[in-house]
A and B are shown apart, each in its own frame.
Chain A
Amino acid sequence: MSLIEVTDLRKRYRSTTVVDGVSFTIGEGETYGLLGPNGAGKTTTIAMVVGVLARDGGGVRLAGRAHEVTSLATKAMIGYVPQEIALYPDLTARENLAFFGRLYGLAGRDLRRRVDEVLDVTGLSERSREAVSKYSGGMARRLNIAAGLLNRPRLLVLDEPTAGVDPQSRGAILDAVARLAGEGVAVLYTTHYMEEAERLCDRVGILDGGRMRAEGTHRELVSLVGAGDHVLITVDGAAAGAVPALERTPGVTRVDADEARLELLVAESRAVLPLILDAVTGAGCAVRSLEVREPDLEAVFLKLTGRALRD
């Protein structure tokens, strides 16, 4: 059963439509990714879902209830992590968390315990009494997420939470999100990093120009591209000698040779790979390297929109 149902969401700024009929659902424990380039409408969609921005059309239902800008009960179920480091730099981490916790009705011992918990989850306990202005970018990002977890949300909304952080912090953030989803939290995650969406999300919606271009699991989206895997082989000697044998190999649909390099388009690379190696070595070429590239969301996006994700 879906925790949140977003239906035909619309937003216009004067003559520009920035969100145009976006719909999706997210179930408990499911991570849903909104993938799209900058300006695709991800943040505006999130703002309407969270209840920060009034929508011009469509509806949002959370746990069966209509969710509006003024719906305090449903807002209390959402943990929101904005794209910016939405913290007060002149306050300490603990002061920031205590303030935001109070907004969700936490107080006294409950508040202190919950602040300790989220500091622990994000690995910031030891520096919790330092002003946020002294934090590194990665630490601030983690604290930004911690503030979104204070109210034990049923729906966690993260707007590009890894923007501008180092790989180590990024990994920690993605692990934390995956852990929360494992605990039953529904996660709405926006990113323009295709790898993050592939790694984290159960389902992905591809957003471009304010419209949902496609939606589904990774497999479902990749199948939209309609092509197989790319197999890249580097050999000793002239690669052209292996082309006739490869063209006769079952499952291989296209072969290109360029000096010592072969590029193949293959329907199911895992099944055909031994046959391909046999064909190459049989043609007298020694294999120096082999790489299999499965179709990714980048390719899907390219096919759907005609441009790359980070254009």
Chain B
Amino acid sequence: MLTIIANDLRRRLRDTTLLLYGVVLPLGLAFLFSTVPAGDDGRAREFAARYAVSDPAGEFAGRVLGSLPSVQVRRAASPAEAAGLVEEGKADAAFVVEPGAETPRVIGDVDKPVAVQVAREIAEAYAAERRAARLALLAASPASPASGDVPGTVPGTVPGTGSGTPAGAAEAAAGIARTPAPVSLAADTAVRRQLDTTTYHAAGMAVFFLFFVAVTTVSGIFEERAGGTLARLLAAPVRPRAVLAAKALGGVLVGLACMGVLVVASTLLMGAGWGPPLAVAVLVAACVLAVSGITAAIAVTARGAEQASNRVSAIAMVLGVVGGAFFPVTGLGFAEFAGWLAPHRWFLLGLSDLAGDQSIGAVAVPALVLLGMAAAGGAVALALGGRAAERVMNA
């Protein structure tokens, strides 16, 4: 088996097609994509926002907004003034806390979508806390009204329907008053869980072209059949399963070698930052196995090298697009959902997680999913492989 693997690797090393698909094209395209202006410099940025707030009671502005880092708060005397600050560009968004309303109203600047979205989330979180507090008070209070006196209660609610005692209600109200602000902004920045442009494209292209590297293994088996060398191998005192296993293992090794060269080359030549080597190696190995399994499952349905190549190429293109090999796929409905079936997506997710958390544990889930894909693809290939092998031998 080692003899067959060694022979395959030697032949692959002399094959310029492999060099083209495995190294030159992915590296070249990653370089081209990474030079396209992405609208930012790719560096980490801390979140910061300027909010105006019209809050006559001051509870929301003080307890909630006042506790948030990276947020500048400007008080407005009225809702109109708050809206005016946004209009004038002096605030990214404005909160208007109106008597009787559960959720603060948000007025946003369309040019500040992130700050506006964060404002909406803050308002929703505040409203959720108020709802929870009201329910707690209703449950604790026997009869007396408590509207407006206790943070978290809403004027106009109907008290006295609870089953607790006055002391219990007071205790509940005090507890609510001591609760921390309903929202917080983590110091972690989004970019810490996001790959830089260069690494993203290098990784995306690497997985995309990995399919084409894998299909050369399958094509090689079909070509060996046509050329007669497969028959000669099977006529030798070597178990038939060992021949096929050697071919498959050789393909995996070639895939690993190509990915390894790409990781090193993109790091040295393009400044890509893949992450800790061990974790990256785990992710790369899982990805190579997944792509090999998927390719094998597709290829066993083919009758020849050309058909196998065509089918794998088509699937590789679809998976590459939905998996985000060319550009991030978000908000595309079914395509985004289908992306979870693509190894590209999980590989990129693993690298992104690794960018936020430098431990090997960060890639555990993506690596397991990729290994699951490998197992599923391998199982399909084995299930259909009997008939495929019959075709290979009988043709």
- Which A residues contact B (CB, under 8 angstroms)? 13, 47, 50-53, 69-70, 72-73, 75-76, 78, 80, 82-88, 90-91, 95, 99-100, 102-105, 147
Known interface pairs A72-B239, A90-B14; A47-B228 also in contact (CB < 8 Å): no
Look across to chain A and name the residue whose beta carbon is closest to the beta carbon of B238: A103
Report B262-274 CB contacts with A as 1/0, cut-off 8 Å: 0000000000000
Q: Tell me whether B229 and A86 are in contact (CB under 8 A).
A: yes
The 8 lowest CB-CB distance pairs between A and B, nearest first, are A84-B228, A86-B228, A103-B236, A72-B237, A82-B228, A80-B235, A76-B237, A86-B232
Are B232 and A91 in touch, CB under 8 angstroms? no
Nearest-neighbor residue (CB-CB) of A43 within chain B: B231
User: Shortest Cβ distance from B392 into chain A, in angstroms?
Assistant: 11
Residue pairs across A and B with Cβ atoms less than 8 A apart, 21 shown, are: A50-B231, A50-B235, A51-B235, A52-B393, A53-B393, A69-B240, A72-B239, A80-B235, A82-B232, A84-B226, A86-B227, A86-B232, A87-B229, A88-B229, A90-B11, A90-B14, A91-B10, A103-B3, A103-B237, A104-B236, A147-B232
Q: Shortest Cβ distance from B100 into chain A, in angstroms?
A: 80
Q: Are A72 and B238 in contact (CB under 8 A)?
A: yes
In the complex, A84→B88 CA distance in Å? 82
Would you call A103 and B240 a contact (CB within 8 A)? no
**Cβ–Cβ contact A70 & B11, under 8 A:** no
- Interface readout for B200-242 with A: 1 if CB under 8 Å, 0 if not? 0000000000000000000000000011110111111111100
- A140 to B231 alpha-carbon distance, docked (Å): 17
Best-surrounded residue of B4, B10, B232, B239 (most CB of chain A within 10 A): B232
CA–CA, A53 and B394, complex, Å: 8
Chain B residues whose C-beta falls within 8 Å of the C-beta of A99 in the assembled complex:
3, 7
Q: Which of B234, B237, B393 has the most CB of A within 10 A?
A: B237
CA distance A76 to B15 in the complex (A): 31
A147 to B3, CA, bound (A): 16
Asked whether A70 lies within 8 Å of B240 as measured between CB atoms, the reply is: yes
User: Smallest Cβ distance from A64 to chain B, in angstroms?
Assistant: 18
> Chain A residue with minimal CB distance to B235?
A80
A280–B237 Cα distance when bound, in Å, is: 65
CB A106 to nearest CB in B, in angstroms, measures: 10
Scoring A53, A76, A90, A99 by chain B CB atoms within 10 A of each residue's CB, the highest score goes to: A99
| Complex: A13 Cα to B391 Cα, angstroms | 10
In Å, the complex CA distance between A43 and B326 comes to 49
Which chain A residues lie closer than 8 Å to B239 at the CB level?
70, 72
- Other than A72-B238, A82-B232, give 6 A-B pairs with Cβ distance below 8 A: A53-B393, A82-B228, A84-B228, A85-B227, A103-B3, A103-B237
- Of A53, A88, A102, the contact of B11 (CB 8 Å cutoff): A88
Q: Are B237 and A85 touching (Cβ within 8 A)?
A: no
Q: What residues of A have a CB within 8 angstroms of the CB of B228 in the complex?
A: 82-86
Within the complex, the shortest CB–CB distance from B304 to chain A, in Å, comes to 15
Contact of A52 among B3, B4, B7, B231 (CB under 8 A): B231
Q: Which of B14, B227, B238 has the most CB of A within 10 A?
A: B227
Closest to B226 in A: A84
**Shortest beta-carbon distance from A18 to chain B in Å:** 9
Question: CA separation between A222 and B225, bound complex, in Å?
Answer: 38
B236 to A75, Cβ gap below 8 A?
Answer: yes
Distance, CA A70 to CA B235, complexed state (A): 10
State A130–B182 Cα separation when bound (angstroms): 77
Tell me if B236 and A100 are in contact (CB < 8 A): yes
Give B275 Cβ to nearest chain A Cβ, in Å. Answer: 37
Q: CB within 8 Å of A: which of B1-25?
A: 3-4, 7, 10-11, 14-15
